[in-house]
Amino acid sequence: MCVGVMGTALISPLYPLYKAAWQLRTSDISLIYVVYMVGALFGLLFMGRLSDTLGFRRVMLAGLLLGWGGTLLTMLAWSLPSLNVGRFAVGLSSSLIVTSASVGLVQISRDGASQRISMITSFLLAFGFGLGPLIGGFIGHWLPHPLMITYVPSLVLGVLAVYALMRVQLKHHEASMSAALGWRTFIPRMAWASRSDSLAFMLTCACPFFAFGVFGIYASMAPLFLETMIPWHGPVVSGTSIGVILLASAMTQLACARMSLRWCGLLGLLAVVLSNAMLVLNFKLGSPAVFIIGVCATASGHGLCLLAGISMVNRIASPTERSGLISTYLVCGYVGSIVPLIGVGWLADHHGLPVAISALGLGVIAAATPLAVWFFQHPRMREA
């Protein structure tokens, strides 16, 4: 799982290098990130149930091979369309790997360890996602031919991951588990909460929407706007900031696991508001301190929003509708990464990046502030 998702954000610190080498527009950079997210969304919607049909090892193997091929194509890309094909494959593979690995951890672990498995899954995901931009930043900053060399560690580790996967010992009934593929396997399993919980679920879905969205801005645009905010710039700076957000988000979730759900959602959404306010303000101030505050707020908001969101889904979902509600919840997160970035890219091409980021930031502040208060005051969030 860690190796599989490492390649997803590996490219983020390299966006300025691609922009300079290929004379790309800001909208082209946002498109690269959006294409990856569309691939991940496609995998979640249409292939999220493959592990139940084919078994986790087959699906994970397919995901690793697809991700390896997508990373290789990204490394060898000669144009924006070829790069986007590779990024779509990497996004699709990340969904296959995450869903199959989650199932696999349950199968190879002892009974009664569900809480430990959830913690392991969250840690591996955060570590893998965070490790990618750190590696990409360091290699892209100091080694020659960064648009090719950066992907070599991911390719090597991908081969090792395939080898290790084939050596995993499964129980006999799990190793032989397989069912025939049918068209129903590829039908998205989405659901909405009952009428009594509809408003609470809408507020819950706002959490991943804003969490994914604010991180998407940093993952796709930070390498482009950092040079206007702080005196240090380059792939290593942007890669470190993106990696820190993801790793600190995971630590926030662990540290706040026992926090009241209503406070978790309130503080998470307000942290998102603060991070966007710092981003807008820093286009005028250019202060490293303001930038650091913004990164910390982004990490805290990301972690608290995801913690509050998934906790609320588990609270209101019955066993029969949990998977459908989680799918809807995650789709809202992906949409939060895709739609705003398309608008930011278009605005940046026509009015400049500061105007585009500021417009998005002010929009988030206006929308997330009342939603945070609404989340806190809703009776369903108060229940123990």
pLDDT the model gives residue 109: 61
The average pLDDT across 106-110 equals 63
Contacts of 56 (CB under 8 A, 6+ apart): 100, 101, 103, 104, 107
Report the distance separating Cα 150 and Cα 315, nearest Å. 42
The pLDDT assigned to 57 comes to 85
Asked if residue 119 lies in contact with residue 254, where contact means CB atoms within 8 angstroms, the answer is yes
> What is the amino acid identity at position 195?
R
Residue 138 to residue 6: CA distance in whole angstroms: 14
- Extended strands (E) in 91-198: none
Mean pLDDT of 253-279: 93
Q: Specify the pLDDT at position 383.
A: 66
Please list, in sequence order, all residues whose beta carbon lies within 8 angstroms of the beta carbon of residue 152, skipping any fewer than 6 positions away.
75
Q: How far apart are CA 316 and CA 295, in angstroms?
A: 32
Alpha helices in 226-317 (DSSP H): 235-255, 261-285, 288-316
CA dihedral 299, 128, 30, 360 (to 10 degrees): -10
pLDDT the model gives residue 117 = 60
pLDDT of residue 195: 87
- How many CB atoms sit inside 10 A of residue 63's CB? 27
Give the rounded percent of residues in the chain with a pLDDT score beyond 90: 53
Residue scoring higher pLDDT (303 or 56): 303
Taking residues 199-211, report their average pLDDT. 94
Which tokens is 83 given? 């790069």
Higher pLDDT, 173 or 379: 379
Amino acid at site 271: A
Nearest CA-CA partner of 57 in 175, 189, 213: 175
Phi, psi (degrees; rounded to nearest 5) at 55: 95, 150
Q: Range with the lowest mean pLDDT among 32-36, 113-117, 324-328, 349-353?
A: 113-117
The amino acid that residue 256 corresponds to is: C
Confidence (pTM): 0.88
Token pair for 238: 């942007």
Return the half-sphere exposure (C-beta side, CA atoms, 13 A cut-off) of residue 229.
Answer: 26
Write down all domains in the chain, each with its CATH number in brackets. Answer: 1-175 (1.20.1250.20), 189-384 (1.20.1250.20)
At a CB cut-off of 8 Å and minimum separation 6, what does 107 contact? Answer: 56, 170, 171, 174
Sequence-ordered list of residues with C-beta below 8 angstroms from that of 61, at least 6 positions apart, any chain: 162, 165, 166
For residue 297, pLDDT beyond 80:
yes
Query: What's the rounded Cα separation, in Å, for the pair 282 and 231?
Result: 12
pLDDT of residue 314: 80
Cβ-proximal residues to 55 (8 Å cutoff; 6+ apart), any chain: 174, 175, 177, 178
pLDDT classification of 170: cutoffs 50, 70, 90? low
Task: Work out the pLDDT band at 116, boundaries 50, 70, 90.
Answer: low
| pLDDT score of 65 more than 90 | yes
Of the candidate ranges 41-45, 108-112, 308-312, 324-328, the one whose mean pLDDT is the lowest = 108-112
Task: Dump pLDDT digits (tens) for 160-169.
Answer: 989 988 887 7
Q: Is the pLDDT of residue 113 over 60?
A: no
Identify which has the larger pLDDT, 187 or 300. Answer: 300
User: In this structure, are residues 242 and 226 in contact, taking their beta carbons and an 8 Å threshold?
Assistant: no
**Phi, psi (rounded to 5 degrees) for 316:** -95, -10
Rounded distance, CA 108 to CA 367, Å?
A: 43
Please check the confidence at residue 178 and state whether its pLDDT lies above 60: no
Q: Is 164 exposed, middle or buried (0-12, 13-18, 19+ CB in 10 A)?
A: exposed
Q: Does the structure show a pLDDT above 50 at 173?
A: no
The mean pLDDT value of the chain amounts to 87
Burial of 172 (C-beta count, 10 Å sphere; 0-12/13-18/19+): exposed
Q: Please state the rounded mean pLDDT for residues 315-327.
A: 77
Coil, helix or strand for 66? helix
pLDDT at 182 over 80: no
What is the spatial distance between Cα 155 and Cα 353, in angstroms, rounded to a whole number?
33
Q: Which residues of 37-47 are buried (b: 16+ CB within 10 A; e: fewer)?
A: bbbbbebbbeb
Report, as an integer, the average pLDDT of 279-293.
92
